[in-house]
Structure 1
Amino acid sequence: MTMYTRYASLAERSVFITGGATGIGACLVEAFVAQGSHVAFVDINREAGDALVARLAGQSQGRIEFRECDVTRIPELRAAIRELSGTCGDFTVLVNNVANDQRYDPRYLSEQAWYNSLAINLHPAFFAAQTVQPMMARQGGGVILNFSSINALSGPSKLPSYNTAKAALLGLTKSLARDFGTDKIRVNAIVPGWVITERQLNKWLTPEAEAWWMDQVCLKERLLPEDVAKLTLYLASDDARMITGQKFVVDGGRL
């Protein structure tokens, strides 16, 4: 297991993570488990979610809970949050991680494909935040972290709906930071570069693509899920208590 800085404020804190079964999400689950947090996560991949719980259950000083959930079905997402709060307690950390970076040629992108992309890359973040807001207010505050992407700022090709959704999350972050601030709820955006997950290795990371990327960045190393998780832990902790409405880029110096 990766060694993480320990944040005393995260021990026994209730954390909800979307898209937590694989990739960056699974690393986030593991990172909060290592802090002794009560971690609940949802994903559409039941097999991977169950396997992650089985692997981490013995390492957790808090609780770890998983529910299969299609986050594009907002009532299902809301129900999962409310059900899991009954086990883990009112959530005071929400990590809106779920995403799908499917490529589309904008000349042939159908109306339904456009809506489907926003349904996973944008809409769940707002409605999850709306659902946890009363919980956080009852507890005297909380933290919402929205996962955007440097694609929102650089606009690579064949990702029009994904880029749009990730840009919208930056606006959502600013809006919710203002609207929820009176309840001491901090809202920030994490803006990763090209994080090398199993999906990226299987679908997109060719030797040529990696050589191009290394030519663009200042730090000539692969960006790993653990690098993003470490930033997430800090922003979720009380060490970042006066930081809100901001975006934090972790990309090895690409931008």
Structure 2
Amino acid sequence: MTATPYATFHDLKDASVFITGGGSGIGAALTEGFLAQGAQVAFVQRSDASGFVAEMEEKHGRAPLFIPCDITDLGALKSAMEQAAAAHGPVTVLVNNAANDSRHGLQDYDEEAWNRSLNINLRPHFFTAQQAAPGMKAAGGGAIINFSSVSYMMGNAGYPAYVTAKAGITGLTRGLARELGPDNIRVNALMPGWVLTQRQMDLWATPEGLKAHLEQQCLPEHLVEQDIIDGTLFLASKTSRMMTGQALVIDGGVVVTG
């Protein structure tokens, strides 16, 4: 993985950052992006990320704090955030990135699968904010970045539970921005388009599908993990200090928010 920062956000140096799903795909790019700014990064992931941590330590001279965690276990998630705060100080930047976009239909999906999808794709965003907010308030403010998706804005078929969760994230973001604003805590949603991570390439990116999607973009180039980093850093930084309750789209120009 190679991350090339296009901007430096000086106020992120030494910031205590917590990222869900921060050891692979977009999450790994985010972890590296914050490390490159000098932030203190902790992340959770269910799968082993020790190789990635070693790579980051060799490249940046310090390692992110990897805490193995299944984010559907709220007790474990709370404990992980407490560990991160103990190591780096109160979390002042929270990035809710982890998600699972496995495809499914309407008729072949049962209650258990539905609940599990929302327990991965929506529920953690509420409870991580709940856990982080008191520390952010005590620190004088903070930033929460909730990863949503343009999938629901496009009306995509093939994963209705995921689309539901991503729509819910933008509603949650708006509500939390209003509730936490008096404590100088900003809450924004980031809306990636189709980012061609290795998972996407392995599972769903057919030549026909890639061609059709590219034709919907204004910019005729597929998105990669790097394209999401700087938008996230912007939302985390005081550069965007008067921006909250918003949905920032990075999709090459497929959808509009206004």
What TM-score, normalized to structure 2? 0.96
| Counterparts of 1:230 and 1:61, CA distance in 2 | 21
Give the AA of the match of 2:94. L
- 1:181-225, Cα deviation, whole Å (9 max, x unpaired): 111000000001000100001000011110111111111101011
Unaligned runs of 5+ in 2: none
1:119-130 equivalences in 2 (<5 Å): 119-130=119-130
2:150 is the alignment partner of 1:150: yes
Contact 1:12/1:62, CA 8 A, preserved across alignment: no
Contact kept, 8 Å, 2:54 with 2:63, in 1: the verdict is no
- Mapped partners of 2:216, 2:42: distance in 1: 36
Is the 1:33–1:61 Cα contact (8 Å) retained in structure 2? Answer: no
Structure 1 consecutive aligned stretches of length 4 or more whose deviation exceeds 3 Å? 58-63
Q: What amino acid is aligned across from residue 235 of structure 1 in structure 2? A: L
% identical equivalent positions: 45
Distance 2:70 2:154 in 1: 29
User: Counterparts of 1:71 and 1:26 in 2: how far apart (Å)?
Assistant: 16
Residue 3 of structure 2 aligns with which residue? 2
CA distance in 1, matches of 2:62, 2:142: 18
Q: Residue type of the partner of 2:47?
A: N
For residues 102-132 of structure 1, the C-alpha deviation after alignment (integer angstroms, 9 at most, x for no partner) is: 1111122111110010000000111001000
CA distance in 1, matches of 2:169, 2:113: 19
Tell me, in whole angstroms, the C-alpha distance in 2 between the residues paired with 1:62 and 1:189: 29
Deviation sequence 1:71-105 (CA, Å, 0-9, x none): 00111100100012111111100000000001111
Measure the CA separation in 2 of the matches of 1:157 and 1:58.
42
2:112 is matched with 112
The separation in 2 between residues aligned to 1:61 and 1:187, in whole angstroms, is 31
Q: Following superposition of structure 1 onto structure 2, how do residues 157-236 of structure 1 map, counting pairs within 5 Å?
A: 157-236=157-236
Give the superposed CA RMSD.
1.0
Q: Say if 1:45 and 1:68, in contact at 8 Å, map to a contact too.
A: yes
Give the distance between the partners of 1:158 and 1:2, measured in 2 at CA.
32
Q: 1:58: Cα distance to partner?
A: 3.2
Compute the displacement of 1:175 (Å): 0.5
Match of 1:36 in 2: 38
Alpha-carbon contact 1:37-1:63 (below 8 Å) kept: no
Contact 2:95 2:145 in 1 (8 A): yes
- For 1:205, give the aligned amino acid: A
Compared with structure 1, are the counterparts of its residues 61 and 132 closer, same or farther at alpha carbon in structure 2 (3 Å cutoff)? farther
